[in-house]
Amino acid sequence: MSTETLGMVEYGEDNVQTLRDAAHIRHRPGMYIGNTDIEGMHHLVWEVVYNSVDEALAGYCKNINVAVHIDGSISIADDGRGIPVGVKADTGKSTLEEALTIAGSSGKFNNDAYKTSAGLHGMGAKAMNALSEWCEAEVRREGHVYKMEFVRGYATSPLQNLGQAPKGQTGTTITFKPDPEKFADLAFDYDRLATRFQQISFLNKGLRLTISDERIGKSEVFHSERGIAEYVEFLNRNEPVEHPSIYISKQVEGVTVEVCLQYITGETKLEMCFTNNAYNKDGGTHLSGFRAGLTRSITAYGKKENFFQDMELRGDDFREGLTAVINISHPQPRFESQTKVKLTSPEVEGMVSGVMYEMLSDYLEKNPKEAKKICQKVALTAELRLAAKKARDALKNRKNALSGGLPGKLYDCTSRDHQHNELFLVEGDSAGGSAESGRDRHYQAILPLKGKVLNVEKAKFEKLLENNEIAALIGAVGVDIDNVEDVSKVRYGKFIILPIGTATGIGHSIVG
């Protein structure tokens, strides 16, 4: 029987395709930029900006200027060394063309030109170019200005020498417009761009980033002299804080570990992780190392100073109300994907953990006032967690106890029409007996309760659940106190608090 008869398709050499460089990027853009929505389109900008920041890390770039143009294109200009433009002997192409078109072409593989960089795979600039309707590259280098033009990842002009560059000027300007075939109806978001550039300025002390948007006539300049210490204070600018920010920095085996942390009085926690300026939104080994070192150092100090006596502490107790920025400079980092959302370098965890334990322990010893506040913050979080657990356990136990049936003191009605049934709450068993004799048993129920059983405004939740009168009321009403929004099981449509002295004659003297 033939494959055609079986409905099968032939698979042979004609079915195997080879897609390279721009063709492969355009066919599978998600591999390179994550997606083709607004986040992916902005990732093109990050890739170009990372190259400029790498020049800053190498000590050659002081300024990065980003401009969004009216036609929807964007320019990123730096004053670094400029992308090399010489012709490569093995390909006959200029280095500039290879840098923007040939996958795997990069000056960052051997760490000679760049000790650390966000670009590792030789793919970022190629992805930008391939997913752009058009791109122009201008290089100021060796006293001249050079230019090349590209369309959807392929060069459409030779390398052009435009003449002399202004004296002393070097750098690269990349201008591109995202391809509407890949990013339909999308436009650059000024706030998204500005937030990221401000973040980059905090991560790179002294670097000046300018953003301008011709569409809305807005511009800003970002510059930081104190780096991530200033960043943490900026993040906590609207929060009451427990102590001044704590800055930690140390180099271990060629890897620079930089951390700043600060506790606020509230519960919000924020941990931001970066590797060579790339934002790792899913954390990674630097985050796990930070958490381990933080927990270990505070636990050791707190137990030594008797802040945590007989307390059951957990990792989350140390992070409530914590704002932290973890910034790693690594010559050969490993990431989960091209988008660098998670750092996977295994050696980093131990490095960060060790630096955190050593230097935070030293800080706590030298700053007992701040150390006390931090330990008290952790202890209070643990106490509240344990109290909440106790309350949940009490709720579970009480709900189990109540599930056995209605309270024995309830004089229930016979009707099951819950919407029209009424529950009268009376004070004391005597009043309950009197009210029972005067009610309409078909739709009126009586629940005797002792006087003021409990001040529920001030009582702890578990105390409330342990009270027999409250438990009787909960059981009679039928509400699930673990989900008070659900009223499907409520047994009465009306609830009446019966004043003293009106316990008799309910059926004809009190209605609703």
CATH of the domain at 294: 3.30.230.10
Cα 333 → chain centroid: 21
- 370 and 233 fall within a common domain: yes
- 475 and 352 fall within a common domain: no
- 288 and 257 fall within a common domain: yes
CA gap 11, 403 in Å, rounded: 64
Residues in the chain, pLDDT under 70:
1-7, 104-122, 394-405, 451-453, 460-462, 465, 480-484, 500-512
Domain membership flag for residue 395? no
- 235 and 269 fall within a common domain: yes
Instruction: Enter the pTM of the model.
Output: 0.71
The CA-based dihedral angle spanning residues 431, 432, 437, 442, taken in that order and rounded to the nearest 10 degrees: 140
- 135 and 278 fall within a common domain: no
Domain that holds residue 343: 228-385
Task: Report the Cα–Cα distance between both ends of the chain, in Å, rounded.
Answer: 82
- 136 and 99 fall within a common domain: yes
Q: Tell me, what's the pLDDT at 507?
A: 45
- Sequence-distant (6+) residues with CB within 8 A of 203 are 227, 228, 231, 274, 277, 327
Q: Tell me, what's the pLDDT at 387?
A: 82
Return the structure tokens found at 486.
């659900």
- What pLDDT digit, counting tens, does each position of 324-351 carry? 999 999 988 999 877 789 999 999 999 9
- 56 and 201 fall within a common domain: yes
- 210 and 239 fall within a common domain: no
Q: Tell me, what's the pLDDT at 115?
A: 55
Domain membership flag for residue 321? yes
- Sequence-distant (6+) residues with CB within 8 A of 508 are none
- 206 and 233 fall within a common domain: no
- 165 and 259 fall within a common domain: no
CA gap 81, 48 in Å, rounded: 15
Domain membership flag for residue 115? yes
- 27 and 86 fall within a common domain: yes
Where does a domain end: 208, 223, 238? 223
- 103 and 193 fall within a common domain: yes
- What pLDDT digit, counting tens, does each position of 21-49 carry? 777 888 788 888 888 899 999 999 999 99
Domain membership flag for residue 189? yes
